[in-house]
Amino acid sequence: MADAPALLEAQGLVMRFGAFTALRGISATIRGGEVVGLIGTNGAGKTTFLNMVTGYLRPTEGRVLLEGRDVTGTGPREMVGRGLARSFQVPQLFPEMTAREHLVLAEALADQGQRSLLGPLPEGGRAEAMLARFGLAAIADTAVSLVPQGQRKLIDIAMALMLRPRLLLLDEPTSGVSSAEKGPLMQTVFEAIRAGGVTVLFVEHDMEIVERYVTRILAFRDGELLADGTPEAVLRDREVARSVLRRKEVAT
């Protein structure tokens, strides 16, 4: 894995919001085929990091490279066009649309290179299989504003998967999901992407889930990269144990 080519590189990322510095120079590399867990307490800068490497936030300092190409300052549209997809800590949905409409639209936009958007929506296509896979068939025709939070989270993740990404970033996929459903949810996500050899970075507070899936861990503390290494090494790190794991039950 260590010799696989770098897919995503963050070089000295700094993010300042006014006088407050949320990220203080983060450098990390994600290589093709890795499954990386991003851990850190609430407010450590995990979401800010995802916002920057996906082009939503322009870093105050530093660069973002995707497959060696400098993509700093390009927007999410360009990043998605290059094979990236993400899900959100707070589901980012279209309140008036149904789950099915979300996935069908995602499919249409995923295939915009092959199929003209001036054609009909791809109804009855891959979206149906995705609805079934995530157990969303029963609520497929309900406006998502009326759907419970846990299922909204699933729709958010399913939309990202519809894009058939090469690099998938998940921001706390299991937050807001009942503890009994966390395991099955992650299993569904990884089943959905297993065939494609997708590279994954996910933010997670539940260390059991982290240990089950990841090949490497990045640990953030107060906007700094505290540790970067194998799960065994990072989870046994004293500083990580003291300042990150101690508050692992606080899920935000």
Partner 1 sequence: MFRRADLRLAAAGAVLLAATSLMPGWLLVLAATALAKGIVALGLLLLMRAGLVPFGQAMFYCLGGYAAGLGSLWLGIRDVLLLLLLAGLAAGAAGWVVGLLIRRYRGIFFAMLSMAFSMILYGVLLKSQDLGSSDGFSVPRPTLLGLTMTGTPALRILFAVTVLLTVLLAWGVSAYLRTAMGQIGPAIRQNEVRVSYLGYEPDRLIHREYAASGLLAGVAGALVAMLVGQVDPGMGFWMTSGEFVFIAILAGTGGIWGSLGAAFILEAVHAIAFDVAPTYWRLILGGTLLVMILRFPAGLSSLAPRRVRRA
Ligand X SMILES: Nc1ncnc2c1ncn2[C@@H]1O[C@H](COP(=O)(O)OP(=O)(O)O)[C@@H](O)[C@H]1O
Q: Is the Cβ–Cβ distance between 28 and 10 less than 8 Å?
A: yes
The entry of partner 1, Mg ion, ligand X, none near residue 42 (CB within 5 to 8 angstroms by kind) is ligand X
Rounded to the nearest whole angstrom, what is the least distance from the CB of residue 77 to Mg ion in the complex? 22
Q: Which of Mg ion, partner 1, ligand X, none interacts with 44 (beta carbon under 5 to 8 A by kind)? A: ligand X
Scored b (16 or more CB within 10 A) or e, 89-117 reads bebebeeebbbbbbbbbbbbebbeeeeee
CA distance between the termini of the chain: 31
Burial class (CB in 10 A: 0-12, 13-18, 19+), 179: exposed
User: What is d(CA 182, CA 29) in angstroms, rounded to the nearest whole number?
Assistant: 27
- Nearer to ligand X among residue 42 and residue 230 (C-beta): 42
Q: Does residue 74 interact with partner 1 by CB under 8 A?
A: no
Residue span binding Mg ion (CB under 5 A) among the ranges 41-49, 90-98, 99-107, 192-200: 41-49
Kindly state the helix (H) or strand (E) to which residue 154 belongs, with its residue range. helix 149-162
Report the alpha-carbon distance of residue 236 to residue 23 in Å, rounded: 24
The least CB distance from residue 92 to ligand X, in Å, is 14
Nearer to ligand X, 193 or 218 (CB): 218
Residue 90 interacts with partner 1 (CB under 8 A): yes or no: no
Q: Does 114 interact with partner 1 (rule: CB under 8 A)?
A: no
Tell the smallest beta-carbon distance from residue 89 to Mg ion (Å): 5
Residues lying near ligand X in the complex (CB under 6 A) are found at 17, 20, 22, 40, 42-48, 252
Among 97, 207, 245, 251, binds partner 1 (CB under 8 A): 97
Task: Answer yes or no: are the C-beta atoms of 141 and 128 closer than 8 Å.
Answer: no
Q: In terms of CB distance, is 61 or 67 closer to ligand X?
A: 61
E strand or H helix at 131:
helix 126-133
35: left (phi over 0), alpha (psi -120 to 50) or beta: beta
Residue 54 is a binding residue for Mg ion (CB under 5 A) = no
Judged by CB under 5 A, the residue of 41, 47, 72, 174 near Mg ion is: 47
CA 162 to chain CA centroid, nearest Å: 13
What residue ranges bind Mg ion (CB under 5 A)?
A: 46-47, 89
